[in-house]
Chains A and B, each alone.
Chain A
Amino acid sequence: FNDPASNLGLEDIIRKALMGNLEERQE
């Protein structure tokens, strides 16, 4: 419970939304 953003699924939404361009960067 020390990290509400992770517990509430926010991190997952953020990672998925970021993923597209993060993959571009890794290429």
Chain B
Amino acid sequence: SRMYLVCPMNTSPQVDPHKSGQDVWEEFSHSFTPAVREVVEFAKKIPGFRELSQHDQVSLLKAGTFEVLVVRFASLFHVKERSVTFLGGQKYSVDALRTMGSGDLLSSMFDFCEKLMNLGLSEEEMSLFMAVVLVSADRSGIENVNSVEALQETLIRALRSLITRNHPNESAIFTKLLLKLPDLRSLNNMHSEQLLAFKVH
């Protein structure tokens, strides 16, 4: 039985059947590491993030990196043509990915990315939204909830004011954006389950 890794953070879904599980994992890890580093660099630039404790910085990044990457790479999911571009640059149709074993997570990612892209946000709005996604006081293992909560509130206020200024006639956009947060959580949970299954396999 042929194995596939249908994650667009991978260079390609094809897995060399001659490689050991460890090698496959190392190659995959090598391909997503730069994107994770980018998220850390992004976090460092969020005003106030570096003032949080080291423990809380790590906890927020551990819990939220996947969600930030989904927002950051939403444009890899081409809703109209039903295809996904992998980081290696190759495009794969949803049908092809389905035959490789992708399931509900891929469909849910498409739904999410379509709705997010339809909001037509600017790069600045997307960045501020990613900061709000990352700085969430209800992540597990946060030791100073008050500090994270205070930073989260500041970021949400800044996002609201930016959206209100840029879209004065579309007051629902801010609400729609906040409603994306639970959607991201559920994608994150589905993704963790798949990673676990992969690791166990």
Q: Which residues of A contact B (CB under 8 A)?
A: 1, 3-11, 13-15, 17-18, 21-22, 25
Considering the chains assembled together, what is the distance between the CA atoms of A16 and B199 in angstroms? 23
Chain B residues whose CB sits within 8 angstroms of the CB of A25 once the complex forms: 50, 54
Q: Which residue among A1, A5, A21, A25 has the maximum number of chain B CB atoms within 10 Å of its CB?
A: A5
**Complex: how many Å from CA A3 to CA B50?**
24
Contact A5 B57, CB 8 Å, known A13-B37, A17-B37: no
Cα A10 to Cα B50 in complex, Å, equals 19
**Roughly how many angstroms separate A6 CA and B192 CA in the complex, as a whole number?**
11
User: How many angstroms from the CA of A17 to the CA of B33 in the assembled complex?
Assistant: 10
B192 contacts across to A, CB distance below 8 A: 4
Instruction: From the candidates A1, A10, A21, name the one contacting B62 in the complex (CB within 8 A).
Output: A10
Q: How far is the CA of A17 from the CA of B57 in the complex (A)?
A: 11
Interface of B is mostly: helix
Main secondary structure of the interface of A (DSSP, over half): helix
How far is B37's CA from A3's CA once the two chains are assembled, in angstroms? 20
B contacts, CB < 8 Å to A: 29, 33, 36-37, 40-41, 44, 50, 54, 57-58, 61-63, 65, 192, 195-196, 199-200
B36 touches A4 (CB 8 A): no
User: Does A17 lie within 8 Å of B58, measured CB to CB?
Assistant: no
Given contacts A1-B200, A15-B58, A17-B41, 17 further A-B contacts (CB under 8 A): A1-B196, A5-B63, A8-B29, A10-B36, A10-B65, A13-B33, A13-B36, A13-B37, A13-B40, A14-B36, A14-B40, A14-B65, A17-B40, A18-B57, A21-B50, A22-B54, A25-B50
Cβ 8 A contact of B58, one of A7, A9, A14, A21: A14
Q: Which residue of B lies closest to A7 (CB)?
A: B199
Interchain Cβ contacts under 8 Å between A and B, 8 examples: A8-B29, A10-B65, A17-B40, A17-B41, A18-B44, A22-B57, A25-B50, A25-B54
Q: A14-B62, A15-B58 are in contact. Are A8 and B40 (CB under 8 A)?
A: no
Are B41 and A4 in touch, CB under 8 angstroms?
no
How many Å lie between the Cα of A15 and that of B114 in the bound state? 33
In angstroms, how far is the closest chain A Cβ from the Cβ of B60? 10
